[in-house]
């Protein structure tokens, strides 16, 4: 069992039975327990939980439709209604069992319900293990605007048990690796290349590498829990990644990490254009990422749609788009405010690149 101190709770990495999860459940022995799952974690992860831990035998299960397009207010509303119907109180416990969609939305639901109800995260996707379930950001989308509504709120505990990854589809596993690559790109060249190497054998993830990635995120979050400064560096690849994910939601449904991977290539491209990153570093990053993550074909309408989303990004100021830019592989700057025209030019570059390749 590995323990990492987060802000005011602990991350535990190892088999759930060997963690402090059973003890935690005992401390809620008189409380109601509610498990929030989506269709896939219901089918693949739930039975282990309720058959292994007696304290969960009577737990209520709330089943949500899977997919990012369901991280929406109408679904959150229906969960609040269900919690009310089950007479869940402030001292009861919500258990989020799922990927980042469930930990983001379940955390948000718990934090607003009766002004705050205890919750824990049991991430079941790689992306949620290395990123979404830790750090206290919870929220939902507003139509195509990613995480437009949300609160900072920490879980009581996070239990990371990699045996849940056995049923995770490969595409979703790769999605998690994208956030790990981001952790490398913003903090350590060696880590970036170690993760790339591991991505050649995605199902054989080493726990040591998982830990290194979690530690990058946790260290940054502890320095700046409410994202007033340095924590913004974790948004590298996300300004554009969110626009890609939001724009294609309901059509191509590009998984979060894949959108972030493409966003990282594009933001690295902007880093070169802005005179921060060397062409040599860019030429290492671009092919390495695009070998694993497919750039979607971009039409003029797609570009317009993404520009519209970027123009309303929550980090913008005075009409400029706030973007992280790399200075080298392993170092990144925050709070670069770029005009919309830079993004238009960048999208046209990648569109023309595709035309030339075809």
* Catalytic residue list: 115, 137, 179, 217, 227, 231, 235, 238, 242, 256
CB of 358 to ligand NAD, least distance (A): 29
Residue 290 CB neighbour total at 10 angstroms: 13
Q: Nearer Cβ to ligand NAD, position 245 or 281?
A: 245
127 lies in the binding site for ligand NAD (CB under 6 A):
yes
Q: Nearer Cβ to ligand NAD, position 47 or 167?
A: 167
CB of 293 to ligand NAD, least distance (A): 13
List Cβ neighbours of 89 (8 Å cut-off, separation of 6 or more): 31, 32, 114, 117
Count, residues near ligand NAD per rule CB under 6 A: 31
Residue 223 CB neighbour total at 10 angstroms: 11
Contact window for ligand NAD (CB under 6 A) among 46-54, 128-136, 182-190, 204-212: 128-136
Q: Nearer Cβ to ligand NAD, position 135 or 184?
A: 135
Closest residue to ligand NAD, Cβ-based? 100
CB of 320 to ligand NAD, least distance (A): 23
125 lies in the binding site for ligand NAD (CB under 6 A):
yes
315 lies in the binding site for ligand NAD (CB under 6 A):
no
Q: Which of residues 64-83 bind ligand NAD (CB under 6 A)?
A: 66, 68, 71
Quick one: how far is CA 241 from the chain centroid? 11
Q: Nearer Cβ to ligand NAD, position 97 or 326?
A: 97
CB of 27 to ligand NAD, least distance (A): 25
Contact window for ligand NAD (CB under 6 A) among 9-17, 19-27, 81-89, 125-133: 125-133
Residue 235-274 contact track with ligand NAD, rule CB under 6 A, x = bound: --------------------xx------------------
168 lies in the binding site for ligand NAD (CB under 6 A):
yes
Contacting ligand NAD (CB under 6 A), which of 13, 16, 46, 98? 98
Contacting ligand NAD (CB under 6 A), which of 113, 164, 248, 282? 164
Contact window for ligand NAD (CB under 6 A) among 51-59, 94-102, 108-116, 323-331: 94-102
132 lies in the binding site for ligand NAD (CB under 6 A):
yes
Cα–Cα distance measured from residue 91 to residue 118, given in angstroms and rounded to the nearest whole number = 7
Q: What is the 3-state secondary structure (H, E, C) of the chain?
A: CEEEECCCCEEEECCHHHCCHHHHHHHCCCCCEEEEEEHHHHHHCHHHHHHHCHHHCCCEEEEECCCHHHCCHHHHHHHHHHHHHCCCCCCCEEEEEECHHHHHHHHHHHHHHHHCCEEEEEECCHHHHHHHCCCCEEEEEECCEEEEEEEECCCCEEEECHHHHHHCCHHHHHHHHHHHHHHHHHHCHHHHHHHHHHCCCHHHCCHHHHHHHHHHHHHHHHHCCCCCCHHHHHHCCHHHHHHHHHHCCCCCCCCHHHHHHHHHHHHHHHHHHCCCCCHHHHHHHHHHHHCCCCCCCCCHHHHHHHHHHHHCCCCCECCEEEEEEEEECCEEEEEEEECHHHHHHHHHHHHHHHHHHC
Q: Which residues bind ligand NAD (CB under 6 A)?
A: 38, 40-41, 44-45, 66, 68, 71, 98-102, 104, 124-125, 127-128, 131-132, 135, 137, 146-147, 164, 167-168, 172, 175, 255-256
């Amino acid at each position: 069992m590995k323990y990492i101190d987060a802000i005011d709770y602990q991350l535990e990495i190892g088999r759930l039975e060997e963690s402090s999860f059973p003890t935690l459940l005992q401390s809620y022995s008189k409380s109601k327990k509610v498990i929030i799952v989506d269709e896939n974690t219901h089918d693949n992860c739930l039975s282990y939980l309720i058959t292994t831990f007696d304290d969960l035998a009577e737990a209520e299960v709330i089943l949500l439709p899977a997919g990012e397009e369901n991280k929406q207010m109408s679904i959150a509303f229906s969960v609040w209604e269900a919690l009310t119907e089950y007479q869940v109180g402030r001292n009861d416990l919500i258990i989020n069992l799922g990927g980042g969609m469930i930990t983001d939305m379940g955390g948000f639901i718990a934090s607003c319900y009766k002004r705050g109800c205890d919750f824990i995260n049991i991430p079941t996707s790689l992306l949620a293990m290395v990123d979404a379930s830790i750090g206290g950001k919870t929220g939902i989308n507003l139509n195509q605007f990613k995480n437009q509504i949300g609160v900072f709120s920490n879980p009581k505990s996070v239990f990371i048990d990699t045996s849940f990854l056995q049923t995770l589809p490969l595409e979703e596993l790769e999605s998690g690796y994208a956030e790990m690559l981001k952790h490398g790109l913003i903090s350590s060249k060696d880590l970036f290349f170690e993760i790339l190497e591991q991505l050649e054998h995605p199902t054989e993830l080493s726990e040591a590498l998982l830990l290194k990635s979690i530690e990058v995120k946790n260290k940054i979050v502890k320095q700046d829990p409410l994202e007033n400064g340095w924590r913004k560096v974790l948004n590298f690849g996300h300004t554009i990644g969110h626009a890609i994910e939001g724009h294609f939601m309901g059509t191509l449904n590009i998984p979060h990490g894949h959108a972030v991977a493409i966003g990282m290539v594009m933001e690295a491209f902007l880093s070169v254009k802005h005179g921060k990153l060397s062409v040599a570093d860019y030429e290492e990053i671009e092919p390495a990422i695009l070998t694993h993550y497919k750039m979607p074909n971009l039409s003029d309408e797609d570009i317009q749609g993404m520009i519209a989303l970027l123009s309303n990004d929550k980090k913008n100021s005075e009409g400029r788009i706030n973007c992280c830019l790399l200075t080298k592989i392993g170092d990144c700057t925050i709070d670069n405010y770029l005009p919309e025209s830079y993004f238009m030019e960048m999208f046209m570059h990648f569109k023309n690149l595709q035309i030339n390749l075809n």
